Amino acid sequence: MKKVIFSIMFIFIFLKPFLAYAGVPEAVNYLKNQTLDDWIVQALAAAGENIDPTPLQSFGGSSANDYSKRILSLVAAGQNPTTYTGINLVQSLKNFANGGQLGNPALLNDDTWGIMALRSAGLPATDSVIKNSVQYLLTNQNTDGGWSWGVGFDSDTNSTAAVLMALAEVGYTASDSFVQAGVSYLTSQQNSDAGWPYQLPCYWPGCEASDSASTAWVVSALNKLNLNAASWIKSGVKPQDFLLSLQTADGSFKWQAGDTAGSAGMTAYALIALMGKSYPVARGNYVGGSNTVFTPLADLEIKFDSKSINIKENQQFGLKIKLYNKGPNMAQAVEARLALPDGMEIIQSIPSEGDFDQQQNKWTFIRFNNYATAELYLVLTPRLGGEMEVRVEVNARELDIDKLNNTANLVVLVTSLEDEIVFNNDFKNENKMLTGQVLGEKLYSCEPDLTIEQAAAWSGFILSVNDSDTPWYIDPVSKKAYCVADSTAAYRALEIFGLGITNVNLGKIPVGEGEIDTVETLQPDIALANKLKGRILLQVESLGEAWYVNPRDGRRYYLANGIAAIEKFASWRLRIGK
């Protein structure tokens, strides 16, 4: 009889951590029928399930947090994160170390999860990347004892719980002052239903309500610190009981009580908490011996299609940047940064592969295959004269076999427009001054004539002479100056100087900032755009809509009518002295 009783007790004690609460088997079954991701893998591993890690072998992450999540899930699944994806994820994550912290200096969550990921893979707490990240978290603890996801933001329960788990990974305990302050913050955030909201006070309707994610992460942190989450009772309810109140009939967990359905993410968080577990859910020793040898993946090379360009100020030119992966392997998280000198403007950018951020001048690839080639086609315009240097540099998160070919430079020699213009201040008869013509139906008080040299130099521009606000249009064909003093005159200018153009050719000229295009935008034709600078164009295949190709930037702008034309002419006019 004693033997039977002992056997029953042994089975009960062994299973208790895995089936501590009713509803856990239903949650496990629900997750097993979902598409596997990093969070689901960790939850199923915490529940003792066998996991097929094959879906985790394909990795396309680009941020420190992406690498951390995959390391945590692979270790949970019993796989080596330094080899399983073909990438040493551990070393790649360490390569995000920057200025005494990990990943983005504006973020704290990438330090938090980075610490847990590196520890789960077997790095010691004394590793310099881990030590620096820990100090960065401690330095950015808020005065209320909590932490936020980013530097300088209000504390929240999720971030605070995660940081406490990270600190516990490097030896901090509930007796340490930093931890005590964090736990005190969590105490102040608990609701009367025994659950936790994202943060209090909060700033959107309904955010003060407890939710499964926040409650699960706090319970996991308390599990980690051996603080017995079940003792945090409110109104006779345990935090775990609150979590179970959000479970639906299919075994999933809702985010908040008012939701109609559960989700895989909320269920994964809740399952780990209910199992009495925390993050990381498993640890391995994958950073010793040969695992620490990091093999470079690829040889990246960046080139311009030209070494130097001679161009006039405000004239557009096309430029190709070519990126090569010379093998032998695929490169991950590739980033090419373009350094432009002051006065050089990007009019248009067209990458054959990857994404180009024209605000940050950054060309990025999640993956760049071995022996692949990609091109970035740019349309540029120099706004200043002189010698300029355009520079581009490419890097990947993985080590590069040969970094001597990762940078390319292009010299642009820009002839200043002012250097070409001869201003003649001596108005004598031999200067053959041009008579300014009036386009309106009545006479206007327009400014006196311009010299031949001035009119030729400012071909296609809208000018105001001396202190006058009256705009003049310099016809690029006749080189004569025409006064467009009001909307009637402007409308006449559209009729007289309009050059017919097909929609296809119009689409090859970049459209101006803020303009709504009326034709399909095509690959820019730089020669055509430069040829038509200063011209007024009429869409012959439409209703004769008018466009003006501004010589200042080589873009086309819509002139809906005379009023719109005079308003835009007035905003574009250049002031010159006679």
Q: Does 330 fall in a domain?
A: yes
Domain boundary among 356, 384, 417: 417
In a shared domain, residues 412 and 478: no
Dist. CA 271–CA 248, nearest whole Å: 13
Instruction: State whether 255 and 124 are in the same domain.
Output: yes
Give pLDDT tens digits for 225-260.
989 999 999 999 999 999 999 999 999 999 999 999
Average pLDDT over residues 289-309: 66
Q: Are 557 and 550 in contact (CB under 8 A)?
A: yes
What sign does the CA torsion over 12, 264, 254, 272 have? positive
- Largest Cα separation within the chain, whole Å, is 129
pLDDT of amino acid 288: 56
pLDDT at 307: 78
With respect to residue 97, please indicate whether it lies within any of the assigned structural domains: yes
pLDDT tens digit sequence for 322-363: 999 887 777 777 889 998 888 888 888 888 888 999 888 999
The pLDDT assigned to 308 comes to 81
Total of domains in the chain:
3
Quick one: tokens of 578? 């006679």
Q: How many CB atoms lie within 10 A of CB 211?
A: 27
CA dihedral (351, 355, 360, 366) positive or negative? negative
455 band by pLDDT with thresholds 50, 70 and 90: low
Distance CA 456, CA 473 (A): 12
**Do the domain assignments include residue 193?**
yes
314 with 255, same domain? no
Containing 300, the helix (H) or strand (E) segment is: strand 298-304
245 Cβ neighbours under 8 A, 6+ residues apart: 257
- Answer yes or no: is 444 within a domain: yes
- Tell me whether the omega of the peptide bond preceding residue 280 falls within 30 degrees of 0, making it cis: yes
Distance CA 122, CA 246 (A): 36
Task: Give domain status of residue 331, yes or no.
Answer: yes
Is 59 within the bounds of a domain? yes
Phi/psi at 237 (5° precision): -115, 135
Question: Do 409 and 448 belong together in one domain?
Answer: no
458 and 385 both lie in a single domain: no
Give me the pLDDT at residue 297, please.
62
Q: Are residues 154 and 220 in the same domain?
A: yes
Here the CATH number for the domain that contains residue 368 is: 2.60.40.1530
Claim to verify: residue 405 and residue 435 sit in the same structural domain: no
Residues 405 and 438 in one domain: no
Can you give the pLDDT at residue 465? 66
Q: Report if residue 283 sits inside a domain.
A: no
Choosing from 396, 417, 438, the residue where a domain stops is: 417
CB under 8 Å to 421, separation ≥6 — which residues?
Answer: 453, 454, 457, 458
Distance CA 557, CA 537 (A): 10
**163 pLDDT higher than 80:** yes
367 and 441 in a single domain? The answer is no
The pLDDT assigned to 531 comes to 84
| pLDDT of res. 22 | 72
Domain end marker among 274, 309, 344? 274
**Residues with Cβ within 8 Å of residue 387, at least 6 apart in sequence:** 411, 412, 413, 414
Does residue 280 belong to any structural domain of this protein?
no
Cα dihedral across residues 48, 49, 53, 55: positive or negative: negative
Amino acid occupying residue 313: E
Residues 415 and 382: their CA atoms lie apart, in Å, by 10
Instruction: Check which CATH number belongs to the domain holding 71 and give it.
Output: 1.50.10.20
**pLDDT score of 378 more than 80:** yes
Tell which wins on pLDDT, 188 or 475.
188
* Domain co-membership, 395 together with 450: no
What residues make up the domain containing 385? 298-417
Q: What value, to the nearest 5°, has the Cα angle with vertex 319 and ends 60 and 414? A: 135
Asked if residue 557 and residue 454 are part of one domain, the reply reads: yes
Q: How far apart are CA 393 and CA 400, in angstroms?
A: 13
Q: How confident is the model at residue 35 (pLDDT cuts 50, 70, 90)?
A: very high
489 and 556 co-located in one domain: yes
